[in-house]
Amino acid sequence: MKNTFRLGILGSGQGSNFVAIADAITAGKIPAEIAVVVSDVESAGILTRARERQLPARFIAPGKFRTKLDEDAEREFVKVLTEAKVDLIVLAGFMRVLKGDFLRAFEGRIVNIHPSLLPSFPGLESWRQALDYGVKLAGCTVHFVDAGVDSGAIIGQQSVPVLDGDTAETLHARIHAAEHELYPQCVAALARGEISVAGRKVCWKK
Ligand code: GAR
């Protein structure tokens, strides 16, 4: 039997990036399957959207901290993802910083999408940061996750223009649409084994 590349998707929000990846898998554009979807938010749309697709979807209570998982939660996340035999962890709007034991358990196998052209505007509400700064190009970045915040090696980026008259909402919507193109392409390349990493340099084999 063929071993399928297994994804564990983590999200805290509405899950539109999850949907873009799930749809790309259904369309045969990503040679992978979604093994499990996990959220730290019980009411997150990503869990509803996963269940609508009959995919395993789990809420794990994050514990007492606001920006990271507590020890018990971290252990539970690692257990669920290990039992699901995931090859790659895909952060799709997961709003907590992952720490030591989690990173060690899946070293080099965690990717994230961030709504800016990193290294500009790491952190929260990057589209608002970009608008306030006055840049003319904004965009999104898919990167490996390391111990820093939005600091891992960059896999792919897609730019969008900042238009006169943009509001935080219109710019965010344009970036979101770019994310839905970029993330499935990056996950497909990872699933096909077309990505190699040397330090901070990520190469796409064609
Ligand atoms: C996306 O814009 C993603 O880039 C951002 O959250 C949104 C999730 O949307 N992630 C971060 O800011 C991570 N620091 P979605 O739930 O519709 O996929």
Q: With CA atoms as reference, report the closest residue to 115 among 99, 129, 136.
A: 129
CA 18 – CA 22 distance, rounded (Å)? 6
- CB of 171 closer than 6 A to ligand 1? no
User: Does 131 lie in the same domain as 70?
Assistant: no
pLDDT at 3: 74
Peptide bond into 119 cis (omega under 30): yes
Span between the terminal Cα atoms of the chain, in Å: 26
Q: Which residues pair with 202 in a beta bridge?
A: 197
User: Does 95 lie in the same domain as 196?
Assistant: no
User: Does 176 lie in the same domain as 82?
Assistant: no
Tell me which residues are annotated as active site. 114
**pLDDT per residue as tens, the chain (206 positions):** 457 999 999 999 999 999 999 999 999 999 999 999 999 999 999 999 999 999 999 999 999 999 999 999 999 999 999 999 999 999 999 999 999 899 999 999 999 999 999 999 999 999 999 999 999 999 999 999 999 999 999 999 999 999 999 999 999 999 999 999 999 999 999 999 999 999 999 999 87
CA 14 – CA 54 distance, rounded (Å)? 17
Residue 63: phi, psi to the nearest 5? 90, -160
Amino acid at 150: D
User: Does 103 lie in the same domain as 1?
Assistant: yes
CA 85 – CA 2 distance, rounded (Å)? 15
What atom of ligand 1 comes closest to residue 112's alpha carbon? 13
Residue ending a domain, choose from 107, 129, 158:
107
Q: What is the CATH number of the domain that holds 177?
A: 3.40.50.170
pLDDT at 2: 59
Q: With CA atoms as reference, report the closest residue to 60 among 52, 44, 88.
A: 44
- CB of 170 closer than 6 A to ligand 1? no
- CB of 14 closer than 6 A to ligand 1? yes
Tokens standing for 177?
Answer: 């649409």
User: Which of the listed residues 175, 176, 181, 186 should we mutate to test ligand 1's pocket, taking the one with most ligand atoms within 8 A of CB?
Assistant: 176
By the 10 Å C-beta count (0-12 exposed, 13-18 middle, 19+ buried), 14 is classed as middle
Q: Which structural domain, as residue segments, surrounds residue 78?
A: 1-107
Residue ending a domain, choose from 73, 107, 141:
107
What atom of ligand 1 comes closest to residue 127's alpha carbon? 2
User: Does 190 lie in the same domain as 128?
Assistant: yes
Strands (E), 122-194: 137-144, 154-161
